[in-house]
Amino acid sequence: MARASQGTTALLLFLLQTLALIQFSHAGGIAIYWGQNGNEGTLTETCATGRYSYVNIAFLNKFGNGQTPEINLAGHCNPAANTCTVVSNGIRSCQSRGIKVLLSIGGGVGSYSLASPSDAKNVADYLWNNFLGGKSTSRPLGDAVLDGIDFDIELGSNKYWEVLARNLNAYSKAGKPVYLTAAPQCPFPDSFLGSALNTGLFDYVWVQFYNNPPCQYSSSAGVNNLLSSWNRWTTSIKAGRIFLGLPAAPAAAGSGYIPPNVLTSQILPVIQKSPKYGGVMLWSKYFDDRTGYSSTIIQSV
C-alpha cells in the first residue's frame, strides 16, 4: 500500500507541475515606453514597480542619411550636456531584476531614414558601439549595455530597415543576443516595417492597436476589428512573441483606448489562446502613472 501511495503522490505532483507549466505558458509580460516625459519617474523607479518585463527607452529620433545621431529623453536629461550617462545606473538596476531594456529608435517626431544598405550598416555599427556591446568614447547613456533595439519607425522611407535588422542580428553572440523588437501599426502589413518583419529576426513585436480605427477597439464597433487584426498578425509573421500595444490612458492616444474591464474580460482571454501571445505593451510610463492601467490588468496579462 505504501508503494501505491507513493506512486499516487508522485503522479499527483507530476500533474500539478504540468498544470502549472501550462498556466505559466500563457503568462505574458507588460512592455512600457519610458523617456518622453520628465514627470514619469526615473528608470530605476520604473523597474522597481515590479509591473514591467520590458522597458523601451524612447527615443533615438535622429539618425541615418549622414546625420549625427541624437537621442531625445524629453525632461529626463540633456544629451548635449552629457547628462544622460546617469541612465546607465537605471539600466543596470532594471537588468538586475531580469527586465530587458531596449533603445527605441524612431518615434512619431524626428528626422530619420536609411539612405542605402551601407548607411544601414553604419547605423547598426553606431548602435552597437554606443548602446550595445561595443566601445565608444561618446556613449550617450553611459557604459551600461542595453539588451537590444526597438524599431518604432513611423516616418520617412520604408527602405533598408531589414538591412539594419540583419546587421544588428549579426552582432548577436551565444549567451548574449541582441534582441530586436518592433512597434508596427495594426494595419497589415506595416507600411514601414513590413520587409524588416519578414526577416523573421524579431524577438518581440508590440503591434500598435491604437490611432488606427480599422483595426482597433471602439465602444461602438466593439472588439471584432481588433481580434480580426490580431489573428492576421499572429498567423502571418514569423516572430518570437506578439504583444497587444495599447494606450495606458485615453489622453495617451487619439483613439483606441480600451477600458481595463473590457480588455480583461473580452480580449485577453481570446488572444491568449495564440501560441505567439507575449503580453501587452503600453504607451507610456507617464500615462500609466496617471491611470494605474498596468496595475489593474497585470494579474490578467
Mean pLDDT to the nearest integer, 22-27: 51
Which residue has better confidence, 165 or 26? 165
Does the domain made of 28-298 have the CATH classification 3.20.20.80? yes
Q: Is residue 92 a contact partner of residue 186, using CB atoms and an 8 Å limit?
A: no
What pLDDT does 61 receive? 98
**Percent of all residues in the chain with a pLDDT value above 90, rounded to a whole number:** 90
Instruction: Map residue 24 onto helix, strand or coil.
Output: helix
Position 181 scores a pLDDT of 98
Question: Which pLDDT value is given to residue 2?
Answer: 42
pLDDT above 90 for 19: no
Model pLDDT for residues 174-232, shown as the tens digit of each residue:
889 999 999 999 999 999 999 999 999 999 999 999 999 999 999 999 999 999 999 99
Q: What is the mean predicted confidence (pLDDT) over 137-163?
A: 97
Confidence label for 3 from pLDDT (cuts 50, 70 and 90): very low
Give the pLDDT band (50/70/90) at residue 26. Answer: low
Instruction: Please check the confidence at residue 261 and state whether its pLDDT lies above 80.
Output: yes
Q: Where are the domains of the chain?
A: 28-298
Q: Give the pLDDT score at 24.
A: 42
Q: What is the pLDDT of residues 217-226, one digit of tens each?
A: 999 999 999 9
Q: Residue 286: its pLDDT value, please?
A: 98
Q: Is the pLDDT of residue 146 over 70?
A: yes
| Residue 158 backbone dihedrals phi, psi, to 5 degrees | -95, 10
- As a whole-number percent, the residues of the chain with pLDDT over 70 amount to 91
- Catalytic-residue membership of 154: yes
Say which of 40, 45, 154, 162 is annotated catalytic: 154
Beta strands at 241-247 and 100-107: parallel, antiparallel or unpaired? unpaired
Per-residue pLDDT at 91: 98
What is the overall mean pLDDT for the chain? Answer: 93
Taking the alpha carbons of 59, 62, 68, 72 in that order, is the dihedral positive or negative? negative
| Residue 12 zone, left/alpha/beta (φ > 0; ψ -120 to 50; rest) | alpha
Q: What is the pTM of this model?
A: 0.91
Q: What would the pLDDT profile of 56-110 be if each residue is shown by its tens digit?
A: 999 999 999 999 999 999 999 999 999 999 999 999 999 999 999 999 999 999 9
Alpha helical stretches, state H, the chain: 2-25, 43-48, 87-96, 117-131, 161-169, 194-197, 224-236, 260-262, 268-271, 285-291, 293-297
15: confidence class by pLDDT, cuts 50, 70, 90: very low
CA distances from 60 to 27, 74, 216 (A): 31, 11, 27
The stretch 40-56 carries a mean pLDDT of 98
Q: Which grid cell is 204?
A: 518581440
Q: Is the pLDDT of residue 50 over 50?
A: yes
